[in-house]
Amino acid sequence: MKQTIKKRMSSSPKWVHKIIQPMRQTKRFFREPGFRSALFTQLFQAKHVHQTTPLTAMDRYPVIFNACRDYFEGKENLNILSYGCSTGEEVVTLRNYFPNATIIGAEINKRSLAACKKRQTDEKISFVYSRIDEIRKHGPFDAIFCMAVLQRKPHHMAETGTSSLKKIYPFEKFEHTITELDDLLRPNGLMVVHFTQYDLLDTAVASKYEAFGPYTQHDYKSPVFDKNSEVRRNPAPQKIIFKKTSK
């Protein structure tokens, strides 16, 4: 039945979509608390929000997490930031890889943050509202994870063939966040930026970093963009893990 409706919709005039889409959005607003929360975050935290969906899962990136654990082998008193931790699954996952670390989860969606704070965790895990002044209180960090955070509606961009993010999610916003996070990362620390529409090596702090290992976001199926916010044509897979080599 749903497939039949989709086929009918795909052959409908554009004006039909313009009428039906707002109706669907209104229905979701009243029926889905998560949709309302994401919408409010996007509207009232537009300056700070990146990805708007709260979707997450346990242990989504085992290869990356293993590589980071191996890098820090033997180091004590690690301080780790999960930037954009959604409902906390990533923080719980990181505990399994770093059993003795202090782990801070930062989230801007208040409904997701409330879910984080209801979790049963240990005394070395904390969840904070994702504002740089609040995060700074818990730094500096040895590792910062930005996993599927520094992007905006990637599947929609792929489906619509968007060629520029200038008005939607400009490079400058990505760069500003990377620069703020760089200020919180210790020398020889790891900045992990995965499933993102931009490249850390295009930012103003790129000279402080070198790619660590062969890890790339080769499985990212959405388009990536350059420092002018224009889509890259046939780009090589972007690196994921970066070692900070200088202050």
Token pair listed for 82: 């999960």
Average pLDDT over residues 46-60: 70
Element at 179 (helix H, strand E) = helix 171-182
The DSSP secondary structure of 11-49, one letter per residue, reads TS-HHHHHHHHHHHHHHHHHH-HHHHHHHHHHHHSTTT-
Token pair listed for 11: 């052959």
Q: Confidence class of residue 56 from pLDDT cuts 50, 70 and 90?
A: confident
User: Could you tell me the CA-to-CA distances from 25 to 19, 35, 74, 111, 132 in Å, in that order?
Assistant: 11, 9, 51, 19, 31
Average pLDDT over residues 25-29: 48
Q: Confidence class of residue 157 from pLDDT cuts 50, 70 and 90?
A: confident
In sequence order, the β-bridge partners of residue 239 are 216
